[in-house]
């Protein structure tokens, strides 16, 4: 799902790094957000809604709508659409409102 050739843009990808999503190893690039890396890996469902447990993906991708909240390295409610991916990150779908550590 990555763009290979583009008429205007050149994508200078950072170093290839590894992280886990719900325990599974996934690859991404330094300099991209968690949500972008997950999307490139084919993951569109980032969480579940609080009451009806409907699937949630990102909507705005600029940190406004809170539709992309996930648990990252144990911390709840991380806006994955604006948070940079880091090597070795542990990313999980969040159940419920999340617990403040």
Please give the residue ranges that form the binding site for another protein (CB under 8 A): 1-9, 11, 13, 32-33, 36, 39-40, 44-46, 49, 54-65, 67, 81-82, 84
**Residue placing its CB nearer to another protein in the complex, 40 or 98:** 40
Residues 6+ apart with CB under 8 A from 6: none
**Residue placing its CB nearer to another protein in the complex, 12 or 25:** 12
> Shortest distance, CB of residue 65 to another protein, whole angstroms?
8
> Shortest distance, CB of residue 85 to another protein, whole angstroms?
10
**Residue placing its CB nearer to another protein in the complex, 55 or 96:** 55
> Shortest distance, CB of residue 97 to another protein, whole angstroms?
18
Which residues are registered as beta bridge partners of 24?
21
End-to-end CA distance of the chain: 35
Q: Are 29 and 16 in contact (CB under 8 A)?
A: yes
Residues 6+ apart with CB under 8 A from 61: 35, 68, 81, 82
């Amino acid at each position: 799902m990555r763009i290979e050739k583009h008429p205007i843009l050149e994508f200078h990808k950072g170093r290839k790094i590894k992280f886990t999503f719900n325990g599974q190893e996934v690859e991404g690039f330094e300099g991209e957000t968690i949500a972008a890396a997950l999307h490139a890996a084919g993951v569109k469902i980032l969480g579940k809604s609080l009451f009806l447990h409907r699937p949630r993906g990102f909507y705005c991708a600029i940190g406004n709508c809170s539709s992309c909240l996930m648990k990252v390295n144990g911390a709840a409610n991380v806006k994955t659409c604006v948070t940079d991916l880091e090597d070795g990150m542990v990313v999980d779908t969040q159940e419920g409102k999340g617990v403040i550590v």
